[in-house]
């Protein structure tokens, strides 16, 4: 299992629109992908949006959000489980 964390810092005026874009445009593209397991969306009080998506293999990148909604380009990182 690979977990991808995607994080974007929204422009304050674009925060609600960025949430809508992630939930209604970006994430639905993954729902049909057999490698996609699940996704969760988290918001912070400082206008950051985080998407945690779980993949069986080969995680797909979220499309680029409308640049007018973000303060800087989004970042993403992939993680795997650690045996302990």
* Amino acid 31: pLDDT: 83
pLDDT of residue 30: 86
pLDDT of residue 71: 95
Query: Which CATH number belongs to the domain containing residue 56 in this structure?
Result: 3.30.70.100
pLDDT at 84: 87
Q: What's CA 49's distance to the chain center, in Å?
A: 8
Q: What does the pLDDT read at residue 57? A: 92
Q: Retrieve residue 48's tokens.
A: 């950051």
pTM (two decimals): 0.91
Count of structural domains, the chain: 1
Residue ranges making up the domain that contains 46: 2-80
pLDDT tens-digit readout, 5-50? 999 999 989 999 999 999 999 999 888 899 999 999 999 999 999 9
pLDDT at 39: 96
Collapsed DSSP state (helix, strand, coil) of residue 75:
strand
């Amino acid at each position: 299992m690979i977990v991808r964390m995607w994080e974007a810092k929204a422009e304050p005026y674009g925060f609600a629109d960025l949430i809508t874009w992630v939930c209604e445009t970006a994430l639905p593209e993954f729902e049909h992908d057999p490698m996609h397991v699940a996704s969760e969306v988290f918001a912070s009080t400082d206008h950051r949006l985080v998407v945690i998506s779980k993949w069986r293999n080969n995680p797909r990148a979220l499309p680029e959000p409308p640049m007018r909604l973000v303060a800087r380009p989004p970042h993403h990182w992939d993680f795997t489980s650690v045996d302990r």
